[in-house]
Amino acid sequence: MKHSTQSDLDILRGVEAEVRQAVVDRNQPEAFKPVGIAAEDLGRLSAEAVQAQYEYAARSVEGMGTAIKERMAKIEASMEDSRKETQLLADAADQAMQRCEADMKLLAEAAAAIREKGKFVYAQIDEASAVSKSIGATAAEFKAKLA
């Protein structure tokens, strides 16, 4: 089981690295290839070049947004996995507690049965002792009569 906090941290670091790279990439102008340019085309070409740079920057930002969405989806999936694992652990703990409670009930029943058996054995021994005492007394009386 992955530790979700570390995984989330790694994902966030990855997003940060991608954003930094996108900023670096955006600041890199596309290769300039000089060609024969008429003076009247210079303004139009400059405007096109500026527009192209803005378009490149916009696409870079959109790319960052896509990367962030992908990272968010991974984080959400990781969080959902963590929730499921936590629920599985909670369910397992509940089952263990129920088994422990059942075992404790069984132990209490066994202790009660042992106490009852002890009372029964005590009563038998006490009765046997009384009978033995009675037999001893009868034997002593009988011996006294015979003497």
Cβ contacts of residue 84 below 8 Å, gap of 6+?
Answer: none
Determine the pLDDT at residue 35. Answer: 60
Total tally of structural domains belonging to the chain = 1
- 8 within 8 A of 78, measured Cβ to Cβ: yes
List pLDDT tens digits, range 34-77: 566 666 676 777 788 888 888 888 888 888 888 889 989 999 99
**Would 37 be classed as within a structural domain?**
no
**Would 84 be classed as within a structural domain?**
yes
Could you tell me the pTM of the whole model? 0.43
**Would 122 be classed as within a structural domain?**
yes
Compute how many other C-beta atoms are within 10 angstroms of the C-beta atom of residue 34: 5
In the chain, the amino acid numbered 36 is G
**Would 34 be classed as within a structural domain?**
no
